[in-house]
C-alpha cells in the first residue's frame, strides 16, 4: 500500500522509536536499580508465568470493583489482540498486495472483530474520558487532605488525558483508514462500521480515497511508534510492570511481616526509610506498576474515615518524585535529600495506618504501600525518636512490665485464681501451649475470652499448659509501630522461655499474637507451629471432642479480624465454629465488606494505643456496618476487635439491643455443664 | 556547661510489691524497676539545656545495687547523657537521706558541676531531700520545685511552683542545684543510635565504702508487714455512768487516744 518513500520513512521511524524505547525503558530500570535489596531479575526469564498468569487471567482485577474489573479485562485482552492487528496493519502497509486471509473464514472473523472492537474501544474511551473529566468519579480523586504536590495532581489528569487521546486517535485513525479502504474496494459485510462510515466518502475521487487510507494508516501506526518510548513515562507502564511486579516480588509470610533487622551489624547506619535511597528495588518498582486506580484507597480504613493517609498517593507520589529527580539521582553521587515525610506521606498519615493489609490485598498489580509505611515508621521511631507520645508510653510499659497495659508482670496470671489451669513451669511439657496474650491476661473482657478457652480446653481433655507470669508480650504492637529493637528484645525473652519447655503447638486467641509468633518470629529464625483458637475449636468440634448445644441463638454476624483473615488467610474456621452454635435454620448475616475485604476495627498497627485526632472513628464506621445486618450478636475472633466493637456499641447507644462476643465465649456458653 | 543529674531507680508505679518471707524487706527479685519519674524530667531538662547552649556535658549519677542500677544509667546514656557514675550500694533503702547526701557529695565533689539537677522526690520513699542536701553540702545555690529554666550568663533564671497556682521566677548564680517538678518538659524516647552508642559510653563504678569513713547506718528496717485492718463493734450497755466509764477505758487502754 505504501509508496517506496513512505516505507523508507516508516522503517526509519521504527528505528527511532525502538531506540527511544530502549533508552526510556533502560532509564526506568536504572532508576529502579538504585533501590536497596536487589530483586531476583533472573526470575523474569525463569518463571514469567507468575506474571503472565495474572495478565491473561486478570484475576486480581475482580477482587473489588468487579464490573469495572470486567471492562478492564476486555480492554486488556482486546489490547493484546490489537497488537496483532497493528502487526497485520504494518505488513499491509509494507508488503504491496498483502491481505490478511481475504477469503478464509478466519480473515472474515478477524475483520469483523477489529471493526466491532474499534467501535467498542472508542465508546469505552469516551466513557472513561467522561468519567474522569466530566462527571468525575470520586474514587479517582485523592482528597486534598492527603499530601500530594499540585503538579502531581495535575500530572495524573494530564497523563490520563494523553493516554485516552492516544487510544482515541490510534483506533479512530485506523477505523477511518479502513473506511477509505472499504470505499475503494466496495462494501464489506465483515466491517459494518467501516462500511457505514465509508458512505460519507461517497463522491470522493479514488486519489482522495487513497490519500485518506494513507492518512488513516499513518495516524494509527505513527501514534504507536510515538507511544512506545513514552510508555515508561505514562502510568500505562503498568501493562509490563504489573506482571513484572508479580514475577519479582519476594515471598512474604504475611503483609505486615517485614524481614528482621540486624542490630549486631555495625556497618548499618540507617534503619527504616527516611529518604528515597533507603527504599528497596521492590518499593521503587511499585510506583511504575501503579495505574492510579485507587482501589487500595477505596476501603482503606484511614482514608475512608477522613485521615490523611491514602495508600495510592504513596505510589503516585513516588512515581512523580522519581520522574522529577530520577535523572539527577542517576548522575549525582548523592541521593535526593528530601525526607519521605515531606513528599511521600505525611507523618500523621504514617501513624494513621492500621496495617490492616487491605491495600496490599486489593492491589491488582501487587503493590505494597504498607511496606513503605512500616519502613517510614521504623525511621521515625528508631532514628528520629519522633512519634505519638502515647506510643512512647506504650513502649515504656512494654519495656518495664512486658505488656502494653502497663500492669505488673507478676499479676499476669492473676486471672487463673479459682480456675484449674496447668502451668508450664510445673508441667514442663504438654501437647499444646495455650498462649493467653496480654489482653487475655489483663483486660477484663480479654479475661472472659481466656476463661471461655479454659472451659473449652478442660472440657475437651486437651493436654495443655499456660506460661502464666513467664509469658511476655510477643512484641506485635512494638513491631508494627516501628520499634524493631524493642520487638526483638521481647521476642528474645519469649524465645528463651520457649526453649525451657516441650510442646508441639501454640494456641492463641489473639490474631496479632498469632501472626507475630508464627510469621514474625520465623523471620528471627524461630519456626513455631501456631494455630488460632478458631482453628483449634473448629477441629475439636469436627473431631467431636466437645459437643456444643445448638441453641436458640438469634441472628448473628461475624467481623473478620484483619490479622486472622488477610494476614493469615483464615476465613472459614470461625464461620464453621459459629455454624455449630446456631440453630440449623439460622444463617450467618454477613457484613457487606467481609472476608478478604473486611474493614478494620481500627486497632491494628499499634492504633490501639494512640489516637489520630482527625476524621471519624474507624470502629464506629465498622460497627455501623455490622449493625446494618440486623444481627443482635456481633461475633469476632480477636481481643482488639472485641474491645473496639464493644466500645463502638456503647458510643452508638446500642447496648440494649446488641452484644459483641468472641467465638470462644459463644462456644463456652453452650458447653454442657 | 557541665551538668550532673541524679537519677534513681524506683519500683514501677504498677509493680506489685511482695514482702520477703523473713519480713526484712520487699522481694526485689521479681520487681519491675524504672527511672524515677521526676528524675527523667530532670534528665530531659539537662539534655535540653546542653543542646540549647550547644556545648557541655551531662553526667548521670545513681546509687543502687550493682546489677539493676546499670539499667537506669544505660537508659540515661541512651537518651544522651555523656557518661555515668554508679555508686554501688546493695541496700540503698537502709541509708537515711543525710548519709545519701554525703555519699553523693563525696562521689561528685571533684566533678565541679555548673548545674546539678535531680527530681523533686523519689516515687518510692518520697523524702524529697537528696538534691537539696547535696547542694547544701557542696555549697551550691539551691532551688526546688522547678517548672521552667532559662540559662543566662553565669546564672540561671527558674520558675518555681508555689501553692495555689502561684509561681515565682527567681534568678540564682551558678553553680546551682535544682530539683525538678514532673511535667516541665516532654522526656524523649532514646533513638536506636542512642541505645547503641550507650553501650560504648563509660559508667564509672565507685564503691560506697570508698566514699565514707564512717559506715555506721543511722536506720535499718526491723519488720516489714502489710497493715492489718481490724473491724470490731462493741455495744456498751448499762446506765450513763457505766457507759462513760467503759468509754474512757476503751479510749485510754484499747484505742489509746486519751
Q: Are residues A355 and A462 in the same domain?
A: no
Helix axes A444-460, A533-542, angle to 10 degrees: 30
Q: Are residues A70 and A209 in the same domain?
A: yes
Does residue A197 lie within any of the structural domains? yes
Is the pLDDT at A551 greater than 80, yes or no?
Answer: no
pLDDT-derived band at A232, boundaries 50, 70, 90: confident
pLDDT number for residue B91: 84
Helices assigned H by DSSP within A186-237:
192-198, 206-230
Q: Do B195 and A406 touch (CB under 8 A)?
A: no
Nearest chain B Cα to A414, which residue? B16
Q: Are residues A77 and A59 in the same domain?
A: no
Q: What's the rounded Cα separation, in Å, for the pair B8 and B37? A: 9
Is the pLDDT at A626 greater than 70, yes or no?
Answer: yes
| Total H helices, total E strands in chain B | 7, 11
Q: What's the rounded Cα separation, in Å, for the pair A287 and B7? A: 49
Does residue A2 lie within any of the structural domains? no
Q: Are residues A302 and A165 in the same domain?
A: no
Among A129-138, A224-233, A324-333, A580-589, the minimum mean pLDDT is found in A580-589
Q: Do A408 and B34 touch (CB under 8 A)?
A: no
**Phi, psi for B72 (deg, rounded to 5):** -70, -35
Among candidate residues A318, A352, A387, the one where a domain is terminated:
A387
Chain A residues contacting B via beta carbons under 8 Å: 263, 271, 381-385, 387, 389, 392, 395-396, 400-401, 406-411, 469, 485
Alpha-carbon gap: A436 to the closest alpha carbon of chain B (Å): 20
Q: Are residues A490 and A613 in the same domain?
A: yes
Contact A188, A195 (CB under 8 A): yes
Nearest chain B Cα to A410, which residue? B16
Q: Do B30 and A383 touch (CB under 8 A)?
A: no
Q: Are residues A72 and A184 in the same domain?
A: yes
Nearest chain B Cα to A484, which residue? B192
Is the torsion defined by CA of A50, A55, A57, A61 positive or negative? Answer: positive
Alpha-carbon gap: B191 to the closest alpha carbon of chain A (Å): 5
Burial of A656 (0-12, 13-18, 19+ CB in 10 A): exposed
pLDDT number for residue A587: 80
Is the pLDDT at A673 greater than 80, yes or no?
Answer: no
Q: Are residues A314 and A172 in the same domain?
A: no
**What is the residue whose three cell numbers read 456499641?**
A649
Which of B9, B13, B14, B198 to substitute to test the interface with A, most A CBs within 10 Å? B14
pLDDT number for residue A154: 94
Alpha-carbon gap: A514 to the closest alpha carbon of chain B (Å): 27
Number of domains in chain A: 3
Q: Quote the domain boundaries for residue A185.
A: 64-233
Contact A192, A115 (CB under 8 A): yes
Which member of A385, A396, A401 has the closest CB to residue B191? A385
Alpha-carbon gap: A264 to the closest alpha carbon of chain B (Å): 10
Show residues of chain A in contact with B34, CB under 8 Å. Answer: 396, 400
The stretch A190-200 carries a mean pLDDT of 94
pLDDT tens digits, one per residue of A439-489: 999 999 999 999 999 999 999 999 999 999 999 999 999 999 999 999 999
Alpha-carbon gap: B31 to the closest alpha carbon of chain A (Å): 8
Show residues of chain A in contact with B14, CB under 8 Å. Answer: 401, 406-408
Contact A93, A224 (CB under 8 A): no
DSSP of A315-336: HHHHHHHHHHHHHHHHH-SSPP
pLDDT tens digits, one per residue of A55-92: 999 999 999 889 989 988 988 888 888 888 999 999 99
The region, left, alpha or beta by phi > 0 then psi within -120 to 50, assigned to residue A501 is beta
Is the torsion defined by CA of B37, B43, B46, B48 positive or negative? Answer: negative
**Nearest to A225, CA basis, from A28, A82, A11:** A11
Does residue A155 lie within any of the structural domains? yes
Among candidate residues A387, A421, A444, the one where a domain is terminated:
A387
Q: Do A385 and B188 touch (CB under 8 A)?
A: yes
Alpha-carbon gap: B139 to the closest alpha carbon of chain A (Å): 37
Among A111-125, A202-216, A435-449, B214-228, the minimum mean pLDDT is found in B214-228
Which of A261, A379, A381, A382 to substitute to test the interface with B, most B CBs within 10 Å? A382
pLDDT tens digits, one per residue of B177-223: 999 999 999 999 999 999 999 999 999 999 988 888 776 777 778 88
Show residues of chain B in contact with A382, CB under 8 Å. Answer: 191-192
Q: Are residues A58 and A80 in the same domain?
A: no
Q: Are residues A525 and A478 in the same domain?
A: yes
pLDDT number for residue B94: 83
A-B C-beta contacts closer than 8 Å: 46
Alpha-carbon gap: B130 to the closest alpha carbon of chain A (Å): 25
pLDDT-derived band at B229, boundaries 50, 70, 90: confident
Helices assigned H by DSSP within A249-383:
281-289, 295-298, 301-304, 311-331, 340-343, 347-352, 358-362, 369-378
Q: What's the rounded Cα separation, in Å, for the pair A558 and A642? A: 11
Which of B30, B186, B190, B192 to substitute to test the interface with A, most A CBs within 10 Å? B192
Show residues of chain B in contact with A400, CB under 8 Å. Answer: 12, 32-34
Is the torsion defined by CA of B191, B193, B196, B197 positive or negative? Answer: negative
Q: Do B191 and A400 touch (CB under 8 A)?
A: no
pLDDT number for residue A553: 66
The region, left, alpha or beta by phi > 0 then psi within -120 to 50, assigned to residue A250 is beta
Among candidate residues A344, A370, A387, the one where a domain is terminated:
A387
Q: What's the rounded Cα separation, in Å, for the pair A488 and A478? A: 9
Show residues of chain B in contact with A387, CB under 8 Å. Answer: 189
Helix (H), strand (E) at residue A14: helix A4-33
**Phi, psi for A179 (deg, rounded to 5):** -65, -35
Does residue A59 lie within any of the structural domains? yes
What ipTM does the predicted assembly reach? Answer: 0.86
Helix (H), strand (E) at residue A26: helix A4-33
**Cis bond leading into B175, ω under 30°?**
yes
Cell numbers for A437: 496474650
Separation in Å, CA A150 to CA A134, A143, B5: 20, 12, 50
pLDDT tens digits, one per residue of B26-71: 899 889 999 999 999 999 999 999 999 988 999 999 999 998 999 9
Which member of B15, B32, B191 has the closest CB to residue A383? B191
Alpha carbon dihedral B24, B28, B29, B32, in 10-degree steps, equals 160
pLDDT number for residue A233: 87
Nearest chain B Cα to A394, which residue? B189
DSSP of B113-157: -SEEEEESS-TTT----HHHHHHHHTT-EEEEEEEEEEEETTEEE
**What is the residue whose three cell numbers read 504491496?**
A96
Residue A75: strand pairing partners: none
pLDDT tens digits, one per residue of B73-125: 999 999 999 999 999 998 888 888 999 999 999 999 999 999 999 999 999 99
Q: Do A382 and B191 touch (CB under 8 A)?
A: yes
What is the overall mean pLDDT for chain A?
94
B195 contacts: CB under 8 Å, gap ≥ 6: A485, B78
Does residue A21 lie within any of the structural domains? no
pLDDT-derived band at B227, boundaries 50, 70, 90: confident
Q: DSSP secondary-structure letter at A201?
A: G
B50 contacts: CB under 8 Å, gap ≥ 6: B1, B3, B56, B57, B58, B80
pLDDT number for residue A237: 92
pLDDT number for residue B216: 73
**Nearest to B122, CA basis, from B220, B1, B40:** B40
Q: Are residues A100 and A47 in the same domain?
A: no
pLDDT number for residue A132: 86
Q: What's the rounded Cα separation, in Å, for the pair A131 and A124? A: 10
A183 contacts: CB under 8 Å, gap ≥ 6: A198, A201, A202, A204, A209, A212
Nearest chain B Cα to A403, which residue? B14
Alpha-carbon gap: A477 to the closest alpha carbon of chain B (Å): 16
Q: Are residues A518 and A635 in the same domain?
A: yes
A464 contacts: CB under 8 Å, gap ≥ 6: A422, A430, A431, A432, A433, A434, A457, A507
Please name the fold of domain B2-211. Rossmann fold (3.40.50)
**Phi, psi for A532 (deg, rounded to 5):** -90, 155
Domain ranges of chain B: 2-211, 229-258
Q: Are residues A368 and A444 in the same domain?
A: no
Alpha-carbon gap: A313 to the closest alpha carbon of chain B (Å): 29
pLDDT-derived band at A518, boundaries 50, 70, 90: very high
pLDDT tens digits, one per residue of A384-413: 999 999 999 999 999 999 999 999 999 999
Is the pLDDT at A552 greater than 70, yes or no?
Answer: no
Show residues of chain B in contact with A406, CB under 8 Å. Answer: 14
Amino acid at each position: 500500500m505504501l509508496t517506496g518513500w513512505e516505507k523508507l520513512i516508516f522503517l526509519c521511524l521504527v528505528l527511532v522509536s525502538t531506540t527511544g524505547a530502549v533508552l526510556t525503558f533502560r532509564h526506568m530500570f536504572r532508576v529502579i536499580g538504585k533501590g536497596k535489596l536487589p530483586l531476583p531479575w533472573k526470575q523474569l526469564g525463569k518463571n514469567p508465568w507468575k506474571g503472565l498468569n495474572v495478565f491473561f487471567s486478570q484475576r486480581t482485577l475482580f477482587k473489588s470493583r468487579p464490573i469495572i474489573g470486567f471492562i478492564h479485562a476486555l480492554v486488556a485482552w482486546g489490547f493484546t489482540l490489537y497488537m496483532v492487528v497493528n502487526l497485520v496493519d504494518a505488513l499491509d502497509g509494507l508488503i504491496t498486495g498483502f491481505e490478511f486471509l481475504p477469503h478464509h473464514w478466519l480473515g472474515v472473523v478477524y475483520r469483523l472483530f477489529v471493526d466491532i472492537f474499534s467501535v467498542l474501544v472508542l465508546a469505552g474511551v469516551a466513557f472513561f474520558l467522561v468519567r474522569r473529566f466530566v462527571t468525575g468519579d470520586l474514587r479517582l480523586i485523592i482528597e486534598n487532605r492527603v499530601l500530594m504536590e499540585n503538579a502531581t495532581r495535575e500530572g495524573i489528569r494530564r497523563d490520563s488525558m494523553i493516554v485516552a487521546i492516544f487510544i482515541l486517535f490510534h483506533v479512530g485513525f485506523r477505523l477511518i483508514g479502513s473506511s477509505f479502504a472499504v470505499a475503494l474496494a466496495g462494501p464489506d459485510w465483515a466491517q459494518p462500521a467501516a462500511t457505514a462510515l465509508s458512505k460519507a466518502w461517497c463522491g470522493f475521487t479514488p486519489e482522495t480515497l487513497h490519500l485518506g487510507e494513507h492518512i488513516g494508516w499513518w495516524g494509527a501506526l505513527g501514534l504507536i511508534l510515538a507511544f512506545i518510548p513514552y510508555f515508561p513515562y505514562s502510568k500505562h507502564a503498568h501493562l509490563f510492570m504489573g506482571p513484572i511486579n508479580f514475577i519479582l516480588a519476594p515471598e512474604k509470610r504475611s503483609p505486615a511481616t517485614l524481614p528482621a533487622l540486624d542490630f549486631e551489624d555495625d556497618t548499618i547506619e540507617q534503619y527504616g526509610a527516611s529518604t528515597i535511597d533507603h527504599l528497596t528495588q521492590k518499593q521503587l518498582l511499585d510506583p511504575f506498576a501503579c495505574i492510579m486506580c485507587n482501589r487500595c484507597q477505596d476501603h482503606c480504613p484511614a482514608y475512608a474515615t477522613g485521615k490523611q493517609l491514602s495508600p495510592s498517593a504513596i505510589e503516585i507520589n513516588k512515581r512523580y518524585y522519581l520522574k522529577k529527580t530520577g535523572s539527577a539521582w542517576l548522575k549525582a553521587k548523592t541521593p535526593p535529600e528530601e525526607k519521605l515525610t515531606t513528599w511521600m506521606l505525611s507523618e500523621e498519615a504514617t501513624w494513621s495506618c492500621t496495617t490492616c493489609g487491605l491495600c496490599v490485598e486489593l492491589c491488582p498489580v501487587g503493590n505494597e504501600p504498607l511496606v513503605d509505611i512500616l519502613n517510614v515508621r521504623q525511621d521515625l521511631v528508631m532514628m528520629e525518636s519522633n512519634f505519638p507520645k502515647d506510643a512512647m508510653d506504650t513502649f515504656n510499659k512494654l519495656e518495664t512490665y512486658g505488656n502494653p497495659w502497663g500492669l505488673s508482670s507478676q499479676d499476669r496470671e492473676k486471672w487463673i485464681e479459682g480456675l484449674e489451669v496447668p502451668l508450664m513451669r510445673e508441667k514442663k511439657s504438654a501437647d499444646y501451649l495455650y498462649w493467653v496474650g496480654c489482653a487475655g491476661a489483663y483486660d477484663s473482657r480479654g479475661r472472659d475470652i481466656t476463661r471461655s478457652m479454659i472451659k473449652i480446653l478442660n472440657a475437651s481433655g486437651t493436654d495443655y499448659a499456660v506460661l502464666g507470669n513467664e509469658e511476655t508480650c510477643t512484641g506485635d504492637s512494638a513491631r508494627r509501630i516501628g520499634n524493631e529493637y524493642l520487638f526483638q528484645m521481647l521476642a528474645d525473652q519469649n524465645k528463651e522461655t520457649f526453649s525451657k519447655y516441650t510442646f508441639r503447638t501454640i494456641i492463641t486467641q489473639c490474631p496479632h499474637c498469632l501472626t507475630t509468633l508464627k510469621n514474625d518470629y520465623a523471620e528471627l529464625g524461630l519456626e513455631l507451629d501456631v494455630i488460632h483458637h478458631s482453628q483449634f475449636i473448629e477441629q475439636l468440634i469436627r473431631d467431636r471432642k466437645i459437643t456444643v448445644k445448638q441453641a436458640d441463638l438469634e441472628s448473628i454476624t461475624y467481623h473478620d479480624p484483619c490479622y486472622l483473615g488477610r494476614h493469615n488467610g483464615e476465613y472459614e474456621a470461625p464461620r464453621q465454629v459459629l455454624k455449630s452454635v446456631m440453630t440449623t435454620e439460622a444463617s450467618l448475616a454477613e457484613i457487606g465488606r467481609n472476608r478478604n475485604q473486611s474493614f478494620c476495627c481500627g486497632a491494628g498497627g499499634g492504633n490501639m494505643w494512640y489516637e489520630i485526632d482527625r476524621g471519624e472513628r474507624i470502629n464506629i464506621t465498622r460497627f455501623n456496618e455490622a449493625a446494618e445486618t440486623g444481627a443482635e450478636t456481633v461475633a469476632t475472633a480477636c481481643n482488639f476487635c472485641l474491645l473496639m466493637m464493644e466500645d463502638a456499641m456503647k458510643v452508638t447507644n446500642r447496648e440494649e439491643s446488641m452484644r459483641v462476643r468472641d467465638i470462644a465465649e459463644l462456644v463456652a456458653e453452650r458447653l454442657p455443664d | 556547661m557541665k551538668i550532673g543529674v541524679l537519677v534513681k531507680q524506683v519500683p514501677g508505679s504498677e509493680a506489685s510489691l511482695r514482702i520477703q518471707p523473713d519480713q526484712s524487706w520487699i522481694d526485689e527479685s521479681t520487681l519491675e524497676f524504672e527511672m524515677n519519674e521526676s528524675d527523667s524530667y530532670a534528665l530531659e531538662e539537662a539534655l535540653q539545656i546542653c543542646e540549647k547552649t550547644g556545648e557541655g556535658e551531662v553526667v548521670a549519677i545513681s546509687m543502687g545495687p550493682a546489677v539493676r542500677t546499670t539499667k537506669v544509667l544505660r537508659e540515661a546514656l541512651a537518651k544522651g547523657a555523656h557518661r555515668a557514675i554508679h555508686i554501688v550500694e546493695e541496700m540503698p533503702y537502709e541509708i537515711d537521706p543525710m548519709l545519701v547526701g554525703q555519699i553523693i557529695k563525696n562521689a561528685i565533689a571533684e566533678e565541679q558541676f555548673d548545674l546539678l539537677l535531680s527530681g523533686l522526690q523519689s516515687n518510692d520513699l518520697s523524702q524529697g531531700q537528696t538534691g537539696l542536701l547535696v547542694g547544701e553540702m557542696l555549697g551550691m545555690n539551691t532551688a526546688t520545685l522547678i517548672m521552667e529554666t532559662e540559662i543566662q550568663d553565669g546564672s540561671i533564671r527558674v520558675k518555681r511552683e508555689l501553692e495555689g497556682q502561684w509561681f515565682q521566677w527567681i534568678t540564682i548564680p551558678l553553680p546551682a542545684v535544682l530539683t525538678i517538678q514532673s511535667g516541665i518538659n516532654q522526656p524523649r524516647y532514646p533513638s536506636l543510635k542512642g541505645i547503641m552508642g550507650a553501650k560504648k559510653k563509660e559508667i564509672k563504678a565507685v564503691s560506697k565504702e570508698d566514699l565514707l569513713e564512717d559506715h555506721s547506718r543511722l536506720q535499718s528496717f526491723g519488720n516489714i508487714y502489710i497493715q492489718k485492718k481490724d473491724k470490731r463493734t462493741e455495744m456498751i450497755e448499762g446506765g450513763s455512768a457505766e457507759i462513760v466509764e467503759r468509754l474512757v477505758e476503751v479510749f485510754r487502754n484499747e484505742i489509746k487516744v486519751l
